[in-house]
Structure 1
Amino acid sequence: MFIGDCETLANGLYLSVDWLSFTVKDGMSYLDVVSYFGLHMEDFQIGLNGRYGYKSRIQHSIYPIHVLYDGNDDMGVHVDVSGSAVGYFLNAYKEKKTCDMTPFGELSYSVESFDSTVLADLLKDIMDKGQLTRLDLAVDDFGCNYYSMEELTNIFNDRLYVSKFKKWKLDLEKGKSGTTGHTIYLGKRVSEIMFRIYDKTLEQNSKKGNEVNDNPWVRWEIELHKERACAVALYLISGNTLSSATIGILANYLRLIDRDNERDSRCSTSEKWNSFISSISKLSLYQTSPEKTLEEKKEWLMKQVAPTISAIYRIDGDLSFIYDLIDNGSPRISAELRHLIQRALEGALYDA
């Protein structure tokens, strides 16, 4: 069974899933969650301080896997899986789902579709049992066959790019021995999508100390949160490839150009950029919000407004304030609400 968390393109770029964060909210304890995804409690350090509002946390002794629990009743159990741990986590999940020996003397893995991957199965399982909160996709350019960080910095300084992101930021970290970090950010950390491009060799050397690696290596990372992460997960669950998701997002949000027109949007795409994205089509993550129904608006009123109205009723002792609300709101009913009213009335007549 194909794991699906990495892929090498024909142009030499290496793609991978670099982070998974999710919350399980179906009543499972942290012990249940650890076991369900194929992990073992004896591999974890226990009794650690929590984070993100959770009081408690356990951490895998070798891999960067954190399980947080003991939060409010509606917080469930949260799991963070980062970097090198993603492959380990997927293999543990695969082994958990691997059945006993078949009549032919082999192990089998239960799948819903022969086109599926372990990654797609895991993402579906996560979304069935809770909520995916973060998904990072990485593109590694080993050997800097396309862009060095210095070249990219010049490209952005010279505005030789078109992007959906309004701003970019350069972050240079300095140490006693010189530059220890070189990163370009596109987008904001608080948003649902952000790009991070950095010198991976510098990052590794800053951690290893005396073990210097001279091999050039630039990494492009797409950090996705909440609805954007879920949109990509559904795209992968539907049978699409990691390359069409990762490079498709890059191509949709960024285009490097040649300055052959005064207007950026009319400039030709750089041939190197065309080679970098390997003719993969753009992937838009934009999703139109579904039209709110009257029932949903009633539910919102019940949850958000009802306590305040109840308090006012207790003070006034009558419903005069409610009648004032109705009178005041009637001339201000929007076109959207009139449409919902008309549709509800037509439905009532049809049912009659």
Structure 2
Amino acid sequence: MKTTLANVTGKIDWLQILFYQVPLEEILSHLMMIDVTCFTIEEAKVKHKDYDLAYVYGDIRVYTTELDTLSETYLVLSGEGCTLFERLLENLGETWKTFFKKLFLEYMGHFKVKRVDLALDDKNEKPFFQVEQLIKKCKKGQFNSSGRTYRLNESKFLGNKTAKTLYIGVRTSDVMFRIYEKDKEQAIKQDIAIEEIGSWKRTEVEVKNEIAESIIRIIAFSDDSLENTIRGFIKKELVFYSTSEMQEVARFWKSYLGKAKALEIEKLYEVTGLHETERWLEFGGAIGAIKAFQFLSEHRALGELKDVQDMLADVEYPRALSNKLVSHLINIGRDDLVKEVYANTKK
């Protein structure tokens, strides 16, 4: 069977987001679209945090406090939690892209992305590379990853055989790579023959803090696929070369990353909630509708329709729009208007 990029899929494999001053029920039922009654409530702790409760739905966990004294909530999706949530999104006709877009458009200024793990799963019968092949490259110094060092972990697999994991970077940094034999890991985990799993090599990158948030923003607003976004980030952060002179990228690595453009995080355009609202007003038809009503008003042709000015006088900001307004005002140094925005926000 031909080795092809069609057999390499992208995956969100871990996600941690800290929310500030957003009601827990709103996160669960509105943002995540899961009925609150689906969750069980358990006593729970998080290292270096004061949480004492967790709302749990399968492997989806949302940490808070019993008295809600912190005004913050911590969403943690493990690998299994991400798989479960992705399945829930698919059932609703949604994707990670639409979920992240909703996160930025409605909650900008009220959350911080703490960690996201991105994975490429190569399930070609003949993979683009073997993990041992990359390990040899590292030992020969035929790789570059912004000065990151490598280490190797081996666990017992079968007889004298081991399951190998190549780490590039360290856990305490904002970017760390794990490249490993997922087929062997799953065979051990499920206690079945590796032949039942099939060939499966995984490249995984653990990303934290501002870089993680930038990547999620790119996933939300770019037209690229999840796979190509991940490839673009890997292409920027990790290169394997043909020789120790490091003049030419190894052919297998070129093929594996395909035509994806290297992701330039520092050049990423800023997308704020109100910028997207502005685009929606301009291109979504709302501005046109307002102009139409103004035209009718100016020509005394409203009939039984309401005048736009009367509607504006009576309307209050929805909470999501209020959050965007507040974030915008803080960003431009007009905190003096925040109280007025909250005064005109729906209770």
Q: What TM-score results when the alignment is normalised by the length of structure 1? A: 0.64
Deviations along 1:299-350, one digit per CA (max 9) or x if unpaired, are xxxxxxxxxxxxxxxxxxxxxxxxxxxxxxxxxxxxxxxxxxxxxxxxxxxx
- Which residue pairs with 1:82 in the alignment? 78
Q: Check the 8 A contact 1:133/1:229 in 2, yes or no.
A: yes
> How does 1:1-352 map onto structure 2 within 5 Å?
10=5, 12-29=7-24, 31-36=25-30, 37-52=32-47, 53=49, 54-60=51-57, 62=58, 64-70=59-65, 73-74=69-70, 76-90=72-86, 92=88, 117-124=97-104, 127-128=107-108, 129-142=110-123, 143-174=125-156, 177=159, 179=161, 181-209=163-191, 211-214=192-195, 215-241=198-224, 242-259=226-243, 263-264=245-246, 267-286=247-266
Aligned CA distance change for structure 1 residues 193 and 123 (closer, same or farther; 3 Å): farther
RMSD (Å) for aligned C-alpha atoms: 3.1
Report the alpha carbon displacement of residue 226 of structure 1 after superposing the two structures with TM.
Answer: 0.8
- What is the CA distance between 1:87 and its match in structure 2? 4.8
| Structure 2 residues not aligned, in runs of 5+ | 269-347
Structure 1 residues 83-116: Cα deviation after superposition (integer angstroms, max 9, x where no partner): 24335425646777x8xxxxxxxxxx8x9xxxx9
Deviation at 1:127?
Answer: 4.8
Distance change >3 Å, CA 176–CA 274, structure 1 → 2: closer
Larger radius of gyration: 1
Identity of aligned residues (%): 20
How many residues align? The count is 257
Q: CA shift at 1:148, angstroms?
A: 1.2
Report what 1:293 is aligned to: none
Structure-1 separation of matches of 2:69 and 2:79: 30
CA distance in 2, matches of 1:47, 1:11: 42
Change over 3 Å in CA distance of 1:58–1:117 after alignment to 2: closer
Give the counterpart letter for 1:55 in structure 2: D
What SS does structure 2 have at the residue aligned with 1:229?
helix
Q: Is the 8 A contact 1:231 1:285 kept in 2?
A: yes
Distance in 2, Cα, partners of 1:244 & 1:176? 35
Aligned with 1:154: secondary structure?
A: helix
Once residues 128 and 37 of structure 2 are traced to their aligned partners in structure 1, the CA distance between those partners, rounded to angstroms, is 44
In structure 1, stretches of 5+ residues that fail to align are: 1-8, 99-108, 289-352
Q: 1:122 to 1:144 in 2, by over 3 A?
A: farther
Q: Say whether the 8 Å CA contact 2:114–2:208 is kept in structure 1.
A: yes
Deviation at 1:158, TM superposition (A): 1.7
Give the aligned partner of residue 291 of structure 2. Answer: none
Moved more, 129-138 or 68-77: 68-77
Kept after mapping to 2: 8 A contact 1:90/1:119: no
Tell me, in whole angstroms, the C-alpha distance in 2 between the residues paired with 1:285 and 1:49.
Answer: 35
Q: Name whichever of 135-144 and 236-245 sits farther off.
A: 236-245
Q: Measure, in 2, the Cα distance between the counterparts of 1:10 and 1:24.
A: 36
Contact 2:20/2:111 (CA < 8 Å) preserved in 1? Answer: yes
Mapped to 1, the partners of 2:114 and 2:128 lie a distance apart of: 32
Helix, strand or coil at the partner of 1:269: coil
Shift of 1:118: 1.9
Residues 25 and 219 (structure 1), Cα distance of their counterparts in 2 relative to 1, 3 Å cut? same
Q: 1:76, CA displacement in angstroms?
A: 0.5
Given that residues 42 and 56 in structure 2 are in contact (C-alpha distance below 8 angstroms), is that contact kept between their aligned partners in structure 1? no
User: Counterpart of 1:157 in structure 2: which amino acid?
Assistant: K
Aligned residues of 1:11 and 1:278 also touching (Cα < 8 A): no
Q: How far is 1:285 from its partner?
A: 2.5
Closer, same or farther: CA 182–94 of 1 in aligned 2, 3 Å: closer
Contact 1:24/1:126 (8 A) holds in 2? no
TM (normalized to structure 2)?
0.65
